[in-house]
Amino acid sequence: MIDGRRLRSELDVLKQALGRRGVDASELDKAAALDERWRLLTSRQEATRAQIKARSREVGEARKRGDTAAAETQAAESRRLGEEEKALAAEAEGASSELRDVLLRIPNLPSPDAPDGLTEHDNVIVRVEGYDAGAYGPHQRVPHWEVGAQLGILDLPAGAKLSGSMFPLYRDAGAALVRALCQLALDRNADAFEEIRPPQLVRTETMVSTGHLPKFEDDAYHIERDDLWAVPTAEVPLTSLARDEILDEANLPWRLMAHTSCFRREAGSAGRDTRGLLRVHEFDKVEILAYATPEQAQAVHEDLLARAVGSLRALGLAYRVLDLCAGDLGGSSARTFDLEVYAPGCDLWLEASSVSWFSDYQARRANVRYRPAAGGPPAFVHTLNGSALAVPRVWAALVETYRQPDGSVALPSALHPYMRGLTRIA
């Protein structure tokens, strides 16, 4: 969440920054009013507590003097003030809780470096690599759901029978390809990232820490009986790994990676293309994430982006890098670069990774701080993450790109060590 103290001194600055996102400033005004009310109630509570202490001293002094009547009068006033203090404490707690709820729903401030704009059409294409529209043959212009069915490696009807639509089932070499892609991504980042295998069901506060709750509640799978949530991305448990902790600056940046299944309802996908693997409820992904100091954050962001790009290059896929405009940023992000792969069979650019810098927005929600090496009070870390490789769309682009005239799929050499000797799917 944003720093609540800035509501008092920089309200206009906050409004201007969120205005770049197209966000209504009324929520900031509401938060500022609640903050003012909370401070007023807290001040009155402290003043009342001071009066109670003064009455307690007067009761003791009166009893020493033997003035029982005065002691009883002061004791009665102390009890009355005690009830008033309890009421003020309850009001202050209510205002604080309401303020936190409002702040949890306010998105992060976009980085000054994020391009201006309100929709995906305003995103800036930084570069395109490996793409030549005229270089794809007719055999590559077949969508992956047809290729997968022809080769027996993608069985969408079976997935639908087991779990419903948008739950894909991979078979034989198709399943091996899922595993191979994830292992490739893990191996490529093992030089600097600690591998974690986190639980894939998490508590509510774990989802709140990243900003997935309360905003994206409709897109998440909730197990109400246990009040647990299926992770929409490994970002969720990895961000909370250091929740409520104070890290040493000497250990930063701290880099983590995890391969998990990810679960998303895709509640907002009505009217969007949901064929094949373009939009699914469950998928595998390798996430890379880092805690960093503010000074380290930019270099870490560049490194995460380079690593995500490196996986696509290793697979020989055409891709492009987009610098997301302020209005198209995710709610928690201050700056995001999207990587899109080109799928010739669908003739679409498919988002394969979002590499994001969240400033201290998530760290404030998760209460993750670090102890500066130069001394001084603990400060909030910056969090950053990205998809080292998300399977469905990369899988789709790969089988379309590498489809051969005879209908087989030649596998890029980077995957050969992970495919049990298979170099072609036929």
Q: Do 93 and 153 lie in a common domain?
A: no
Residue 424: predicted pLDDT? 98
Is 221 a residue whose pLDDT tops 90? Answer: yes
Q: Do 67 and 170 lie in a common domain?
A: no
Is 265 a residue whose pLDDT tops 90? Answer: yes
Q: Do 162 and 189 lie in a common domain?
A: yes
Please give the residue range of the domain that contains residue 329.
120-425
pLDDT bin (cut points 50, 70, 90) of residue 24 is confident
Find the helix packing angle between 68-105 and 26-65, rounded to 10°. Answer: 160
DSSP 8-state assignment for residue 170: B
Is 94 a residue whose pLDDT tops 80? Answer: yes
Is 272 a residue whose pLDDT tops 90? Answer: no
Is 270 a residue whose pLDDT tops 80? Answer: no
Location of structure tokens 């909730």 = 222
The whole-angstrom separation of Cα 27 and Cα 33 is: 10
Q: Do 61 and 124 lie in a common domain?
A: no
Contacts of the segment 410-415: beta carbons below 8 A, 24+ positions apart: 411/177, 412/314, 412/315, 412/316, 414/184, 414/314, 414/315, 414/316, 415/177, 415/180, 415/181, 415/184, 415/315
Q: Do 145 and 36 lie in a common domain?
A: no
Q: Do 331 and 374 lie in a common domain?
A: yes
Residue 268: predicted pLDDT? 64
Q: Do 182 and 298 lie in a common domain?
A: yes
**Of 60-74, 260-274, 289-303, which one has max mean pLDDT?**
289-303
321 — phi, psi (to 5°)? -110, 125
pLDDT bin (cut points 50, 70, 90) of residue 254 is very high
pLDDT bin (cut points 50, 70, 90) of residue 55 is very high
Is 271 a residue whose pLDDT tops 90? Answer: no
Residue 273: predicted pLDDT? 82
Q: Do 79 and 218 lie in a common domain?
A: no
- The answer to whether residue 65 is domain-embedded is yes
Which CATH number covers residue 21?
1.10.287.40
- Contact 367/243 with Cβ under 8 angstroms? yes
- The answer to whether residue 1 is domain-embedded is no
Neighbours of 384 (CB within 10 A): 30
Is 274 a residue whose pLDDT tops 90? Answer: no
CA-nearest of 234, 192, 184 to 386 is: 234
- The answer to whether residue 111 is domain-embedded is no
How many helices (H) and strands (E) would you count in the chain? 12, 16
DSSP 8-state assignment for residue 154: B
- Single-letter code of the amino acid located at 157: P
Neighbours of 48 (CB within 10 A): 19
Name the average pLDDT for the chain.
96
The whole-angstrom separation of Cα 130 and Cα 95 is: 55
CA-nearest of 227, 3, 236, 251 to 106 is: 3
Q: Do 96 and 164 lie in a common domain?
A: no
Residue 269: predicted pLDDT? 65
3-state DSSP call for residue 386? Answer: strand
- Chain centroid, CA 20 distance in Å: 20
- Give tens-digit pLDDT for 158-182: 999 999 999 999 999 999 999 999 9
Joined tokens for residue 426: 């036929």
Average pLDDT over residues 308-317: 98
Residues designated as active site: 264, 279, 351, 354, 393
Task: Provide the pairing of β-strand 254-263 with 194-196.
Answer: parallel
Residue 11: predicted pLDDT? 96
